[in-house]
Amino acid sequence: MKESAFTPRVENMNNILKKEGIDCFFVTPSSDMKYLCGYSIKGDERFLALVLAPGHEPFIIANILYELQVTETPITEFTYWPDGEDPFALLKTEMEKRGIAHDTIAVDSSMPALFTLQLTSLYPDAEFVNGSPLVQPLRIYKDRQEMDCMIEATAKADIALKKCMDKGLYWIGKTESDFMAELAYEMTCLGLAAPGATVAVGANAAVPHHNTGNTVIEMGKCLLIDFGGTYKNYSTDMTRTYHFGEPSAKFREVYQVVLEANLAGEEAAKAGNELQDVDRAARDVIEKAGYGEYFIHRTGHGIGIDCHEGPSAGAGETTIIRPGMAFSCEPGIYLPGEFGVRIEDQVLIEEDGSTKVLHKLPKELTVIK
């Protein structure tokens, strides 16, 4: 393969396969494929796979229709099949030609049964294993290229939400869905793909995974926006909670507690700490303020190519925080029937061990009136 940021990833992967006694790893379109060779095609009914085998050059098997795209990856060996021919017969020939063993075969966890069943028929005596859990330990630690993508992705998300919030009282009378449509529009213009959002007004904000709907934005209500998209394959995920019109004293108090919990979590997000320390620090603030029972989820999740990946910032997670790790810090307080507040940033542990809070959009209470 061509020398690139992907070379050490494939080398590390091959070392893991060798150590685990796995002869080869068939990777179909998935986040693992994006990680290992940068190719971000959406899978379809035409078999396409990256084949890794320790001691062998990696190659891609694809329909000839995809020639132009696969040659843009750092992979340099290809074998193509045309429509009407059997890709699995070709795969078998190619494996034999290269002398790749197939006693133990790994496949990526998202490979469709359409292909998995063909492979188990092709190699009926092989032991098949899920290879994705072996990629995870590599994906936890982002390299420079990955960190730069995440920094860009979060900066774009900041701009998109700011553009929407700058419209101020324009939103009064609009629905959650209207807000989502405009936010998705801004994200798309900025080059963020696959925009998605939970937009929740008032009591809806007390439901952590509320389905954005037709509730109207009104004076006297809060507006919670949890949203993200992808940039060059990497995810962004942030939450801000605003208030239209003067908030109640209770809302102000709860907001302040969540903000302090968010800051305490980020303060604990230090290289050398355990991931659960982030959860503990944020949760302590909320518990001390008497709202412990209303903080009903973990404080954060790993993030990278997938929006949720790797170890959580949750109770019992003893993984040590190290350079290259990226995760969210998103404490919340949810008062059923009243309102909810969540403040979420992504944090990244830089190469020098310092902590970077990637989202820069102000998080002090903003009242729109």
130 binds a copy of itself (CB under 8 A): yes
CB of 118 to a copy of itself, least distance (A): 9
Q: How far apart (Å, rounded) are the C-alpha atoms in residues 249 and 358?
A: 30
31 binds a copy of itself (CB under 8 A): no
Binding piece for a copy of itself, criterion CB under 8 A, among 103-111, 270-278, 296-304, 322-330: 103-111
Q: How far apart (Å, rounded) are the C-alpha atoms in residues 320 and 303?
A: 16
Q: Which strands, in side-by-side order, build the sheet including 355-357?
A: 326-329, 345-349, 355-357
40 binds a copy of itself (CB under 8 A): no
Which residue among 97, 113, 124, 125 contacts a copy of itself (CB under 8 A)? 113
For a copy of itself, give the closer residue by CB, 51 or 269.
51
3-state class of 52 per DSSP?
strand
For a copy of itself, give the closer residue by CB, 110 or 256.
110
For a copy of itself, give the closer residue by CB, 180 or 224.
180
Which residue among 36, 54, 91, 108 contacts a copy of itself (CB under 8 A)? 108
Interface size with a copy of itself, residues (CB under 8 A): 25
For a copy of itself, give the closer residue by CB, 55 or 112.
112
Beta bridge partners of 238: 227
| DSSP track, 167-236 | TGGGGTT-BHHHHHHHHHHHHHHTT-EEEEEEEEEGGGGGSTT----SPBP-TT-EEEEEEEEEETTEEE
319 binds a copy of itself (CB under 8 A): no
CB of 178 to a copy of itself, least distance (A): 7
Which residue among 64, 89, 114, 169 contacts a copy of itself (CB under 8 A)? 114
84 by Cβ neighbours in 10 Å (0-12 / 13-18 / 19+) ranks as exposed
Which residue among 64, 117, 219, 296 contacts a copy of itself (CB under 8 A)? 117
CB of 221 to a copy of itself, least distance (A): 21
CB of 192 to a copy of itself, least distance (A): 10
Contacts 24+ apart (CB under 8 A), 279-284: 279/313, 279/314, 279/315, 279/317, 280/315, 282/329, 282/331, 283/315, 283/331
For a copy of itself, give the closer residue by CB, 108 or 146.
108
For a copy of itself, give the closer residue by CB, 247 or 332.
332
Contact set for a copy of itself, span 175-204 (CB under 8 A):
177-178, 180-182, 184-185, 188-189, 191
Binding piece for a copy of itself, criterion CB under 8 A, among 111-119, 147-155, 261-269, 282-290: 111-119
CB of 369 to a copy of itself, least distance (A): 26
Which residue among 10, 107, 261, 313 contacts a copy of itself (CB under 8 A)? 107
Closest alpha carbon to 333 in 212, 220, 252: 252
Q: How far apart (Å, rounded) are the C-alpha atoms in residues 179 and 47?
A: 39
| DSSP track, 328-357 | EE--EEEETTTEEEE-BEEEEE-TTS-EEE
CB 50 within 8 A of CB 29: no
CB of 325 to a copy of itself, least distance (A): 20
336 binds a copy of itself (CB under 8 A): no
Q: How far apart (Å, rounded) are the C-alpha atoms in residues 50 and 147?
A: 24
- 127-130 and 24-27 as β-strands: parallel, antiparallel, unpaired? unpaired
136 binds a copy of itself (CB under 8 A): no
Q: How far apart (Å, rounded) are the C-alpha atoms in residues 290 and 286?
A: 6
Provide the binding-site residues for a copy of itself, judged by CB under 8 A: 107-114, 116-117, 120, 128-130, 132, 177-178, 180-182, 184-185, 188-189, 191
